[in-house]
A = this chain, B = another copy of it.
Amino acid sequence: MTIKDIAKACGVGVSTVSRVLNGRPDVSPEVRERVLNMVEATGYIPNNSARDLGRSQTDTIGVVVRGMGNLFFSRVLNTIIQETDKVGYTLVPRFIDSDDDEVKAGAVLEREKKLRGLIFLGGRFDYNPEELSLVHVPYVCCSFTNSFGSLAEDAYSSVCIDDFRTAYRAVEKLIEHGHRRIAALVPSRADHSISELRFEGYKAALADHGIPFDEALVVECGGCFTMPEAYEGMEDLLDRGCDFTAAFVLSDTTALAAIKALQNRGRRVPEDVSVIAIDGLQISAYTTPTLSTMVQPAEEMGRESVKLLLEVLKGGPNRHIRLEPAFREGASLRSL
């Protein structure tokens, strides 16, 4: 069975089959499904894993990591590597860009490496069953879940914090300290992803405390959570000239970049602006000022993801685990 046979059987060109197998977006859903069904039915294995033909059953687990520079993901990934290793499974990690499609990447990895299971480290929150039909092995969504999607609860597993509630708690912490003019730095406010959920948590906390929502205090920095993006985002906010005494920033590293932008513009943290974030990296306990942040249990998240996937592989039910972040007080927050 060669790629030509697959193409012929599907009535499409070889390059189309190749595009499907490489998870490229420029193929219609119908053709994609036809090709993948044929691939499955015939047991065809793409060339680059023909070398693995000898294996009929593997104990290989894949992890698709969305974004390379994310320090929080690195911590989780390292735990996933260690935990998978401990139980004798082989872990195959694959990095994709933060705007790539992790489901397609997972489906390709599944076929290439004959995976038994998959962990998605980072992803969108709006999967539908059709999309996920590309993946034929059990999978765990690590650090996110399907809040905006239509997957059946028992069709997948997830391990994450409650992003809405965690953002709500962070912003409430600012309000408890007397702040009412609270800026929000988020990658996007409507991307059906972690950013939207946390932004909604921000809005809900304001609303529940009778603080009117002010468009002018929201900055969308771009989808990649990078420090340069957050730095520029804070500069934009300052350029608008609007007044605020506190900022809620989506992650530790972007909060540090935002603090840097504030300081470079002559604003002191926390004297002029208080800052709170979500993540709880070790390094942000050593910065000046130290960061007030909601600590995500990174090791636990990695460990539970592996444990849950193994349970499902052994026939257990899909489950959804919610971990509770803890507030870590830093010097970036003061009372008005």
Interface residues of A (CB under 8 A from B): 48-49, 51-52, 54-60, 68-69, 71, 74, 78, 81-82, 85, 88, 90-95, 113, 227, 231, 253, 256-257, 259-260, 263, 282-283, 286-288
Contacts and interface: CB of A to CB of B under 8 A. Distances in A.
A257 B286 contact: yes
Contact of A68 (B82, B227, B231): B82
A227 B283 contact: yes
Contacts of A90: 60, 90, 92, 113
A81 B69 contact: no
A94 B88 contact: no
Nearest to A78: B68
A56 B55 CA distance: 10
B71 A283 contact: yes
Contacts of A260: 286-288
A54 B51 contact: no
20 contacts: A48-B88, A49-B88, A51-B57, A51-B58, A52-B55, A52-B59, A54-B56, A68-B82, A74-B74, A82-B95, A85-B95, A90-B113, A227-B282, A253-B286, A256-B283, A256-B286, A260-B287, A260-B288, A283-B283, A287-B287
Contact of A55 (B48, B54, B68, B74): B54
A49 B81 CA distance: 17
Contacts of A287: 256, 260, 287-288
A60 B92 CA distance: 10
A56 B47 CA distance: 18
Contacts of A74: 71, 74, 78
Given A51-B59, A52-B55, 13 more contacts: A51-B57, A52-B58, A60-B90, A71-B283, A74-B78, A81-B94, A85-B94, A91-B92, A91-B93, A227-B283, A227-B286, A256-B286, A256-B287
Nearest to A263: B288
Contacts of A60: 90
Contacts of A288: 259-260, 263, 287-288
Contacts of A82: 68, 95
Question: Which of A58, A91, A231, A288 counts the most chain B CB atoms within 10 A?
Answer: A288
A27 B89 CA distance: 26
Specify which of A71, A78, A260 lies most central, judged by the most chain B CB atoms within 10 Å of its CB.
A78
Q: Tell which of A49, A92, A260 has the most Cβ of chain B within 10 Å.
A: A92
A150 to B, nearest CB: 31
| Most B C-beta atoms less than 10 A away, residue of A60, A74, A227 | A74
Nearest to A282: B227
Contacts of A56: 54
A74 B256 CA distance: 20
Contacts of A256: 283, 286-287
* Most chain B CB atoms below 10 A, which of A74, A90, A286: A286
A153 to B, nearest CB: 32
